[in-house]
Structure 1
């Protein structure tokens, strides 16, 4: 049942934005592609720096040695620029943790598969923490593009967790869907904190999160929830 339902969930990654033309409708030649790449490289340099939330289009333009008018030929605003930076990052999601969820998890190996998924998701966040934290910060500030991106990243994980529970993601009002949603939300928040370098500065000498314990707890929660829903289905 798990294998059959997994096959119905869309495996396609979100299509990358059309970068063959600039915002003026002009086809990008080599020079145009190079300029766009310079903008992306400058933005990534800022985001990977001390504080990604301080990024501005004016600072990106300065580092890319461009006038603001030239930058606006390629990106209408900061949110569009961040979405472009997120595209190659989110392309890693399949190999990092989604493909683990797509394969059936036998009952006698459930803990081990939960551990692989939790570890894969956490390591994905470790590698890409700066841009992912910026996305979440912008989404929390009601940025529509970043909110959509965050939701689109969560949806396949939630659906695949429901499948692992032996249920159908199409049953949106089911307990399994609610469980998977709450599990994901809590897990993403825990990983967000565990990979936030600024959180440690804010905590100073107070208790810091023990990442290994966080991950151990998440494995336990995923295992209990999936096992419970499977048992309910067999009852």
Structure 2
């Protein structure tokens, strides 16, 4: 998996959905739930978070809106690349905008339904950047909003995350099942492992969560062990 795929949740080897009725149902449900959607920039380096705002059934027009700072890459663009999820499937689409406008609160885009969608199984993703200065972890929820915390102890057996205790309910809701961890050790070295939440401890205003790495083949475990040892040599908090 490439870093670009991680940033967007791009489905890998995904089936193409080309049935108009099914596409209609997917977007209608997303609008009814005001589901989150990520607008993907050029070369997938920038992301704008938006929500499904409404669905005009008569003309099959979808409206999305964003209160995030709207980069020039998203403003006034004729084509939008977007990723969203219903909690069961991930979807990736390219749409042609019909109109866009702005009010005091948000920026809006309106577009007709696309001819096709790419889909894949929904999975919860932890993105762990050991090469990051602060060893940040980025977590995507079902609304595709991104939450961040810090990586603490890390080995081939598991790892700990720390966050402000005020985030406890949010993180526990995100981590109520197994997740996929994309490990970015170096720019050119990354792979996936499956992790399971095992315990949590509150220390003052800090919440610590322990994760066990499961289903890690021995060759990968050996590789991970060497990479983590190399990184932790100059990062005491990972020892």
Compute the TM-score of the two structures, normalised by the length of structure 2: 0.26
- Bigger fraction of residues in strand: 2
TM-score (norm 1): 0.26
